Structure 1
């Protein structure tokens, strides 16, 4: 039987969300309540693939200038598959390429989640490569396996012993305002001339929709906010989405303190991976200082690739 490819429509939202929740490699980022918060910026062209009436795969996507993109408004998307679809990944890719060709899209691009999240992503990448996809971007992603012994460098842990962390306290909440306005926005502007992807209003909206998945860790000394990390919790995967320190927080290495304390907490809760994100600059080069900082906190590196199929090659 052939796979049937159907373009997503808003009336499919409940079916889409239910599928993502039980999929092999999906997360709350791929549910429509998350995806659609910035829907006005993208021409959605998400796909749903069925076999004999059973939904086997969802592909969060949009189109722009004749190119089919695995949704660039998300950190990743790719092929979200059910357990029943694991054995037919090659057929799913064939069906996608047939659809892309039938729509006369010039290119198709897929950004899978990191392999560290789920080994099936390595199998999907291998099929993509076999079918003619090529890697058009490589990121140096960093993560810590929380289900193993965490190897923090003595250069970081010594601060527990030399008094640098004395008097620090961490508050965990869904209150993002103080971190955004006092630390994140001014530090990104001063150091990188940039802004966070999510505005304060957007992160508050998303956290209201996913209060168990989006949490804020802030570290204080007395009443002074020194640093914070916004975590996205995706099942057993914890992703540090935003990280920033005040000038005083930089002096005390407050971000490292939050990371080390959070790793202990999430490890106790049964999480398996803490994803620290890539260490690449906008042009693709590696930020050596950031890479060193994350490795000192126990990170292992994965080359995280984005895949492209060009009809003209």
Structure 2
């Protein structure tokens, strides 16, 4: 989160037990009384250790709400973690949200391929990918971002949406240098000229498309289709999930973009935003017994 810390007023929390960090909640201020589970991240929420059981998770949520309430924070805008990013996929936090009466305010979804149980790709996709191969399109992983950013991504976003990518080329380069194993740039070339590309973020089980863009030639030649065919069937076939991201823009759902993702076999996995009132920590008291409560009240918060 470091590279964009000037854009957010941080309000992250770390929960300690016997001086060991056991949970983290990346967050930032919205206004005096409201914080948000971090908008600058692809996914957020409360981050727990794999070993955490339900009872302990409820204590952690209790503690976080209690500390925030004592610091005059009344409300949390909580963008929940997509379950498939969680390495064991458990949902203790989902149960905690129910107990504290978290209110669902926004539901979007990401288009995701479950790589362990893939659907057939649409024939058009395969036909276009074959066309690209015949034309001699080459797919390569590269370690610089300038070519893609300057020649494909920025012109495309500018012309279609008068928008800029969320990362500048300097920022994505800096991120890649810090996390070389997790950030990838794949480009498609026709006659040695870049025509399409994808910037991917890789986690333990998921590969996520952060930026996807092609020029007219990249679309028409099928280079873009070949690129994704290769990413799904070859480069990342060992992962559990291939996440194409959301298809929402300023006008709501972009059906053209969604159809394209679905034609590779992607389906909707929901991404939900909740509003949580910090005073509802009280609703967890029944679930965590009295001894815990004393222990929690006596904790210093860091």
- TM-score, normalised relative to structure 1: 0.83
Structure 2 partner of 1:64: 30
Where in structure 2 are the equivalents of 1:1-313 lying within 5 Å?
A: 35-66=1-32, 67-87=34-54, 88-118=56-86, 120=89, 122-161=91-130, 163-166=131-134, 167-268=136-237, 270-282=238-250, 285-310=252-277
**Is the alpha carbon distance of 1:193 and 1:58 closer, same or farther for their aligned partners in structure 2, counting shifts above 3 Å?**
same
**Is the alpha carbon distance of 1:245 and 1:36 closer, same or farther for their aligned partners in structure 2, counting shifts above 3 Å?**
same
**Is the alpha carbon distance of 1:278 and 1:217 closer, same or farther for their aligned partners in structure 2, counting shifts above 3 Å?**
same
Distance apart, 1:302 and its partner CA:
1.2
Distance apart, 1:278 and its partner CA:
0.8
Equivalent pair of 1:113/1:121 in contact (CA under 8 Å): no
Deviations 1:156-211 (A, max 9, x none): 112245x3432110110111000000000000000011110000110011111111
Q: Distance in 2 between matches of 1:121 and 1:290?
A: 30
Equivalent pair of 1:70/1:111 in contact (CA under 8 Å): yes
Q: Distance in 2 between matches of 1:45 and 1:147?
A: 38
Give runs of ≥4 in structure 1 deviating > 6 Å.
none
Report 1 or 2 for greater relative contact order, CA contacts < 8 Å, sequence distance ≥ 6.
2
Structure 1 partner of 2:297: none
Q: Distance in 2 between matches of 1:223 and 1:160?
A: 18
Look up the SS of the partner of 2:118 in the other structure.
Answer: coil
Q: Distance in 1 between matches of 2:47 and 2:247?
A: 26
Equivalent pair of 2:247/2:257 in contact (CA under 8 Å): yes
Look up the SS of the partner of 2:43 in the other structure.
Answer: coil
**Is the alpha carbon distance of 1:52 and 1:311 closer, same or farther for their aligned partners in structure 2, counting shifts above 3 Å?**
closer
**Is the alpha carbon distance of 1:186 and 1:74 closer, same or farther for their aligned partners in structure 2, counting shifts above 3 Å?**
same
- Structure 1 gaps, min length 5: 1-34
Alignment RMSD, CA only? Answer: 1.9
Deviations 1:7-36 (A, max 9, x none): xxxxxxxxxxxxxxxxxxxxxxxxxxxx11
Distance apart, 1:300 and its partner CA:
1.5
Q: Distance in 1 between matches of 2:104 and 2:189?
A: 43
Equivalent pair of 2:138/2:190 in contact (CA under 8 Å): yes
- Structure 2 gaps, min length 5: 281-302
Q: Distance in 1 between matches of 2:119 and 2:232?
A: 9
Look up the SS of the partner of 2:83 in the other structure.
Answer: coil
Equivalent pair of 1:42/1:62 in contact (CA under 8 Å): yes
**Is the alpha carbon distance of 1:184 and 1:61 closer, same or farther for their aligned partners in structure 2, counting shifts above 3 Å?**
same
Deviations 1:127-155 (A, max 9, x none): 21321211221112111111223421112
Aligned residues: 276
Q: Distance in 2 between matches of 1:266 and 1:145?
A: 15
- TM-score, normalised relative to structure 2: 0.85
